[in-house]
Amino acid sequence: MWRLAEDTLCTAEIHALADWLKRGERLTQGEKIKQFERAWASWVGSADSVFVSSGTTANFALVACAAELVERDTPRVGVSAVTWSTNVSPSLLMGHEVVVFDVDPRTLGLDEAQVCAAIEADEIDILFVTHLLGLDALTPTILATAEEHGVIVLEDCCESHGARHGAAKVGTLGLGGTFSFYFGHHMSTIEGGAICTDDAAFADRLRLMRAHGLARESANPAAYAAQSPNVDPRFLFVATGLNFRSTELNAFLGLGQIPLLDERIETRNRNMQRFLAGAPSWLRTDFHTAGMSSFALPLIAHDAEGAARAREVTDALGIESRPVVAGNLMAHPFMQGPRVRVAAGGLPHAEAVHAFGHYVGNGHHVTDAMVDELCAALRA
């Protein structure tokens, strides 16, 4: 059976965790998490990283802290029409205005012309880019236009660990980038997520957000204590915060997974290239694969007939599949509301992905023979 994903945690890693647990060390956020954060930042190529409980809470913390830097009362956040719900729901929960952009069919990332027009017309304050299915969603023009107009760029890299934009890994190109370590992603900590950033003050703010807004989470608690001499510094709340912490167990597992990533990404990318070379012409194979870290194999047809045919083939082979993430997010009930609007030009490419696309899993469990069988059945 070709499943969507197999666990990236192996039995030896669980045994290692069990042995470590027998040492009776403290299990709430502590040294292992600090160690993981250093290792993750170093692997991604950022100055710092903050480990949290999921990709979703990473997204929440990132958007919440970035929104504090926006002067406007209601920050306007630009998002992709094809992404996971929790790229957008933090903004909706916080009362932001959301502007939804179409995707580029070759990258499944943002439509450059539409995004740049909106930035030039001063329609957004924050651009939350999603690198979907491990493809590089950014372009030099989007980055340059955002910088020129003071738009804060955030990256959702929850499906793109190790993907590159040019020489840099994604997650390092804006103010912050988020990652998910949920089962089925490039690596797993069971549940887990991280935010990477090069900005020390921003990392400090993220750590306050992660843990109740407590001053002691800051790198400089004494400075906060001096500003509030009437409050006991042991419980001094200096920022609005929630609880997005993870545990030492998850960090222990993550530390074991990082060294395995490069080889796994190579396997994923080899599978994706083999699939694109073998797929028939009625499926889209013109993806921009430079720098990718493939998450899944996309079967996006040019029309409804092709889409039905592709689905018949994967179902007949017993291959587990899913829509291309949420398809067009605007088709989902949670997006209906007065604070969401679609950018000028509409979402024709997102609608095509929604109507004609589905994906099958990629990972270390997918072999050349499995890819070849799928391609042969599609071509037959």
Residue 84 near ligand PLP by CB under 6 A: yes
Residue among 59 and 269 whose Cβ is closer to ligand PLP: 59
Q: How many CB atoms lie within 10 A of CB 168?
A: 14
Binding to ligand PLP, residues 188-247 (CB under 6 A): 193
- The correct pick among 46, 49, 80, 83 for binding ligand PLP (CB under 6 A) is 83
Over the window 307 to 336, marking each residue x when it contacts ligand PLP by CB under 6 A and - when it does not, the resulting string is ------------------------------
Site membership for ligand PLP, residue 362 (CB under 6 A): no
- Distance of alpha carbon 202 from alpha carbon 192, whole angstroms: 20
- Enumerate residues 6+ apart whose C-beta is below 8 A from 335: 88, 100, 329
Tokens describing residue 29: 């956020």
Residue 189 in contact with residue 168, Cβ under 8 Å?
no
What does the CA dihedral 251, 129, 120, 148 come to, rounded to 10 degrees? 40
Contact with ligand PLP (CB under 6 A): which of 159, 204, 217, 248?
159
Q: Rule CB under 6 A: say whether 182 interacts with ligand PLP.
A: yes
Interaction between residue 177 and ligand PLP (CB under 6 A): no
Using rule CB under 6 A, residue 155 touches ligand PLP:
no
Closer to ligand PLP at the Cβ: 80 or 218? 80
Q: Are strands 193-197 and 164-165 parallel, antiparallel or unpaired?
A: unpaired
CA distance 324 to 297: 10
Query: DSSP character for 237?
Result: B
Which of 86, 114, 269, 362 binds ligand PLP (CB under 6 A)? It is 86
Q: Binding of ligand PLP at residue 171 (CB under 6 A)?
A: no
- Contact characters 106-135, ligand PLP, x per CB under 6 A: ------------------------x-----
From its phi and psi, is residue 152 left (phi > 0), alpha (psi between -120 and 50) or beta? beta
Q: How far is CA 376 from CA 4, 45, 271, in A?
A: 20, 40, 15
- Give the footprint of ligand PLP on residues 52-71 (CB under 6 A): 54-56, 59
The whole-angstrom separation of Cα 37 and Cα 181 is 13
With binding defined as CB under 6 A, does residue 29 bind ligand PLP?
no
- Please check whether residue 302 is in contact with residue 59, taking contact to mean a CB–CB distance below 8 angstroms: no
29, 107, 180, 189: residue in contact with ligand PLP (rule CB under 6 A): 180
Chain residues in the site for ligand PLP (CB under 6 A):
54-56, 59, 83-84, 86-87, 130, 156, 158-159, 180, 182, 193
